[in-house]
Structure 1
């Protein structure tokens, strides 16, 4: 004997007619638990402050911080601060070189010889000066190139 579901359902609002019981149950779970889950998800995302809040103000900028100092940030995965600095140094040198080559105040075209001079300058005068843990095993390392008259020296490289 076949029974029509619309005749069996006795919903006063008329919105559940024809829906199987599992769908009605899930809908009520979402209505009742959804706001709580959303609030929990948003609060767990905001528990970690962004990296820029953890870095001191004088380390947040990338590029020329003075006429003698150029700095860049590198993100690495490491278990401790010493490993983070060791692993970040080669990548930081490449990043500093790329940023210097894109610097609008320097020559727009630098020869291969000029690039080699920049690499030597970065290698000899660059160092990791600050490392902060962003999340577990994720580090932000600040790499600086410091030399008296760095700005003027870079303007002369062609």
Structure 2
């Protein structure tokens, strides 16, 4: 991964956050395909291994691994999910999957409190050439 300065890391985190919020993964019939492909591309860009598992058909689990020096030590698991609950678009002042940003920096989108924070944490650490002692896993499941 090429070195990025703090402003570039902040901008990349914002872009990724807004992109991830635009995937429509609404229950009861979510389409996880585009979100999964995007997550896999993010793992590739970060140099993380990435495995896709479907224990239940059409219900993917994305497991990314940032390998540390000693796999025998306890690992850290960062757990997230891709789905969002149904939304009544008539009650929104902005499109719920538009990830629009206001002039004061507020982002309006469904799922802003549960999505994508782990790439925001991992990318700067990788940019600083941080080496983990144990393993760090990011698990993104279909739902809670």
TM norm structure 2: 0.30
- Higher normalized contact order (CA 8 Å, seq sep 6+, divided by chain length): 2
Using structure 1 for the length normalisation, give the TM-score: 0.28
The structure where helix makes up a greater share of residues is: 1
